[in-house]
Amino acid sequence: MKFIHLKQIWEQFRSNRFFGFLSLFGMSIPVMVIMIMVLKIDLSIHPGGPERNNDQMLFLNQMKITRADGSYAWGGLPVGMIEKHFARMAPQNRLAFSASETTTMFRETNALDLSLRYTNAGFWQVFDFEFLQGHPYTRGNVKDQDNVAVISRSLKERLFNQSEVAGKTLKLDGHTFRVIGVVQKVNSLARNTYAQVWLPYTWRRHSTTTPYYNRTGAYGLTFRSSGGWGFPDIRRQVRDLKRKVNHLNDEGTRVLFAGPAQAAEIYFRAYRDPQAYKGVIMSYIGVAGKALIILLLPALNLVSINLTRIQERSQEIAIRKAFGATRKSLTYRIMGENAVLTLAGGFLGLVLAYLAAFLFKDQIFTAYFVADAQQAMIQMNYGVFFILILVSLIFSILSGWIPAMRISRLNPAYVLKGGAL
């Protein structure tokens, strides 16, 4: 019986292609807009690659310093504070910190703009990099400021023709580094790991290990939890450290850490003041509100299209009701037909969203933490499909409920005599 209903829906679509096209177009465009918004959020929170297990991580990328005169500073964490306090707080290989920069590399007649990331040795244990060749640098390499580097596969393909590049050299900012490892290309949406070259943080220019408490820095922290060191432990230790730092600070100077927090909260907070930020729940509510507004206006237009489409079938529906079809069965039938069309429009909208994401990466994925939007990697996951089904269901209810209620209340005798709905 259900197969017959689907076949009837298809025949109705074929018999009136104009209304079918309007329905699909009216559903696919707003769904496309919503899915682009969802893709941007989802891929930024779950970029995959080295950060594929970021649900086990907490991030602390910013701090705010307020002073007695009302001025304040806002930025990353200073390396001296990290070395003296945070590095001693975390278990071994459970803390990563890094700072990113860009540089220009001159090779023969070409100039290459490269993204650099300066990291500690624990960075390679916290994140799940895939090494294609070689190995990461060690704590000894970092401490001794060895001129070693790890590069991405994409940079290896641009610079070297050989299959094996371990031991090759590259010159950056006047220094020669020896390549000791090659990793799989990293998604540029992975704001905590993306780079083309990774170097020991002791090579970073202007780095100072003095533990200043009244200055910001350029580093972000990542804590990876373990069985004996969970999120509550990490947050408690950071709170204790904040109290200690403020006790050591000048009178009237206070430090406020924007975290540690999970990836979703870091994304939604962005550069907003943590004292004014209302939390990730309110952020999700705001996104849902925008999606409903985007859906509401097209849904109202589809109501009139559906009423017109059903008007053409009023004789058929009147006969069904005259032969015993109940209001409930008619309502379910109309809503079911609308749900099928809405789902088809939803999948079309999803295809259009991914197509737009591939073609317009620079416009869609440009954000404060994206070094190169063209290097963003678009991927699919089950969460996007779930949101697609949910959006299609909401759209189906918004656009199909009124026509279904109206058609279920018709008087068959009146319609069969030529009366309009």
pLDDT at 69 over 50: yes
- Please tell me whether residues 70 and 30 are part of one structural domain: no
- Please tell me whether residues 202 and 301 are part of one structural domain: no
pLDDT digits (tens, 9 = 90+) for 227-258: 889 999 999 999 999 888 888 777 778 888 88
Which positions ≥6 away from 39 have C-beta within 8 Å? 353, 354, 357, 364, 378, 384
- Please tell me whether residues 20 and 98 are part of one structural domain: no
Which residues does residue 179 pair with via DSSP β-bridges, in sequence order?
A: 149
Which residues does residue 75 pair with via DSSP β-bridges, in sequence order?
A: 63
- Please tell me whether residues 44 and 140 are part of one structural domain: no
Q: What's the residue count for the chain?
A: 421
> Positive or negative, the Cα torsion across 393, 398, 400, 401?
positive
pLDDT at 184 over 80: yes
Residue located via tokens 């609308």: 338
Q: What is the C-alpha to C-alpha distance for residues 251 and 356, in angstroms, rounded to an integer?
A: 53
Which positions ≥6 away from 164 have C-beta within 8 Å? 133
- Please tell me whether residues 290 and 162 are part of one structural domain: no
User: Per the structure, how many domains does the chain have?
Assistant: 2
Range of the domain at 14: 2-48+280-416
- Please tell me whether residues 140 and 201 are part of one structural domain: yes
- Please tell me whether residues 35 and 83 are part of one structural domain: no
Domain presence at residue 268? no
pLDDT at 139 over 90: yes
pLDDT at 213 over 50: yes
pLDDT digits (tens, 9 = 90+) for 289-312: 777 777 676 666 666 666 666 666
- Please tell me whether residues 248 and 284 are part of one structural domain: no
pLDDT at 61 over 60: yes
Domain presence at residue 399? yes
pLDDT digits (tens, 9 = 90+) for 76-107: 898 888 988 898 888 888 999 999 888 888 77
- Please tell me whether residues 200 and 289 are part of one structural domain: no
Contact 94, 223 (CB under 8 A): yes
The SS3 assignment for 74 reads strand
**Greater pLDDT, 413 or 77:** 77
Question: What is the radius of gyration, based on Cα positions, of the chain?
Answer: 29
